[in-house]
Amino acid sequence: MGSRWWLSVSLLAACSARLGGPRPSATSPDAGAGAQLADAAAGDAALPDAVQVARDNACGVAEMQGDLGTVSATAIVAAQVPGQAPLIYSLSGATPATAKQPLADWSYVELWDGYGVFSAGTAQAGTFAITGDETAYSTCGVCLFTLADDADGTLANAAHLLFATSGTVIVHSVGATVGAPLEIEVQDATFDEVDPTTFASLGVNSCPSPLQHVDLTGTVTTAP
């Protein structure tokens, strides 16, 4: 199965994920999505730059992310193949310590119908361990990232891309229509830096960036 890649601005890039083609991301680096993400993060207080720099690792993310609490996030639903089911559900929220910085760090989750823990059907509420298929972006149904130094919370614009190697993801609610709630909780996650094109481990930086907890809450703003 080929590697995934993010959708174009128009979300019209074709793919054939189940037949070995590339997999798109639910979000695109368009100005509208970026503005939505920035608005969602605007209410969070930022730590002084000196504090943030002191605790950053080689990937530009806090060495220990700790408990981020509840974070307002932007929720987007997109079709894996334009105009058709199955779907991708994404939720992205800036970490409170960096939300007011021009380049924030983001907790980012994608749920993929028909992949990994959802291989039998559509994304559902439940508790899922980051293990097996969930530890590779080509196969995960629950795909957990930390995006480092990113202006808008999309995979395309992260200076460093960290993919989860362990942890638990609790999907509290998931919907496919505009206005539907999307809430995803993350517990005890660790990460590894990956190549932004192939999503293979880079193996050069020590960036586990342990994340004790975050509860991402949003309402779907864009859907097929």
pLDDT in tens, 62-101: 999 999 999 999 999 999 988 888 999 999 999 999 999 9
For residue 213, being part of any structural domain is answered with yes
pLDDT for position 203: 84
Higher pLDDT, 58 or 8: 58
24 pLDDT tier (thresholds 50, 70, 90): low
Calpha distance 89→223 (Å, rounded): 9
Give the least confident one: 18-22, 98-102, 164-168. 18-22
pLDDT for position 27: 59
For residue 85, being part of any structural domain is answered with yes
Neighbours of 8 (CB within 10 A): 13
Per the structure, the count of domains in the chain is 1
Cα dihedral 38, 73, 160, 111, rounded to 10, equals -140
Give the least confident one: 13-27, 45-59, 85-99, 115-129. 13-27
pTM: 0.81
Calpha distance 134→116 (Å, rounded): 6
For residue 4, being part of any structural domain is answered with no
Residue 105 has pLDDT above 60, yes or no: yes
Residue 183 has pLDDT above 50, yes or no: yes
Closest CA to 73 of 30, 44, 45: 44
For residue 136, being part of any structural domain is answered with yes
For residue 76, being part of any structural domain is answered with yes
pLDDT for position 184: 98
For residue 3, being part of any structural domain is answered with no
Q: Which range marks the domain in which residue 148 is found? A: 17-222
Mean pLDDT of all residues in the chain? 82
Instruction: Name 19's Cβ contacts closer than 8 Å, sequence gap at least 6.
Output: none
For residue 48, being part of any structural domain is answered with yes
Closest CA to 138 of 203, 205, 202, 200: 200
For residue 5, being part of any structural domain is answered with no
Instruction: Name 130's Cβ contacts closer than 8 Å, sequence gap at least 6.
Output: 142, 144, 164, 165, 166, 167, 168, 169, 189
Residue 5 has pLDDT above 50, yes or no: no
